[in-house]
Amino acid sequence: PEKIEAILTWKPPLGIMEKFPHLKGIISFGAGVEEILRDPQLPQNVPIVRIVEPCLTSRMTEYILLAVLRFHRQAFQYQTFQKARHWEPLPLPETSSCTIGILGLGVLGADAAMKLKTLGFPIRGWSRTPKNIDGIECFYGPDQLKLCLSKCRVLVCLLPLTPETEGILNRETFSAMPKGGYLINVARGQHLVETDLLEALDSGQLSGACLDVFSREPLPESHPFWSHPQITITPHVATQTDNEYWTEPIVDAIRCLRDGLPLKNVVNCEQGY
């Protein structure tokens, strides 16, 4: 343990970091670092670096675009029609009247917002601190969340998981959206209060949800989400980092630690990302 200077990790055991007295840096295999920050014995003077690379961002945006367009172009209704062998063209929806809200305006959220904007969707974004993105209506802080949600027909969650954001997808949040809205969660399962989602779907406050992340993964076979007709499930595949893409930033981080150079993508431990 005395020889270890850098740790590459994703979900480290609690308390393990303090066993390396000469640790210079911790490198996360992914963009999220909540599994590292949950350790109460985490060394306070050791920087944490997260992986940020273009492929991760583009894949996430592709998934969000797919989920948004399937809802917007009424794919679910047409699937129902197909099963019933029912031929009925539905009125085409107006893209300009479908406002999309994005919770989290970091690298992933900002990219998704700009791509959706090019398709003609009005975009509202919400973040912890003020952001200024051209063509995006930006809101920030707890006091502006409901205002942001008030026109959002689709809500996309891309927030980091912190004590402040855990459970943010709840009854109060859904009630602030226009009736019949749609939820897309590609952040963390712990952002969602599952019972509140089921209630919102049963009441009609939400018309559907696309979920890629869950509090328990794999999702238990007995979970009600599997059989719910208004919920689309994918097994945490919205984006993934491949070895060929993450090797370079990891090697770069190790070199910077070794040579005492400034690190890229350092986590703010107080903010949680």
CA 171 to chain centre: 19
Annotated catalytic residue 188: yes
Q: Is 228 a catalytic residue?
A: no
| Set 73, 171, 228, 236: catalytic member | 236
Residue type, 118: T
Catalytic residue among 50, 72, 128, 188: 188
Catalytic residues: 188, 236
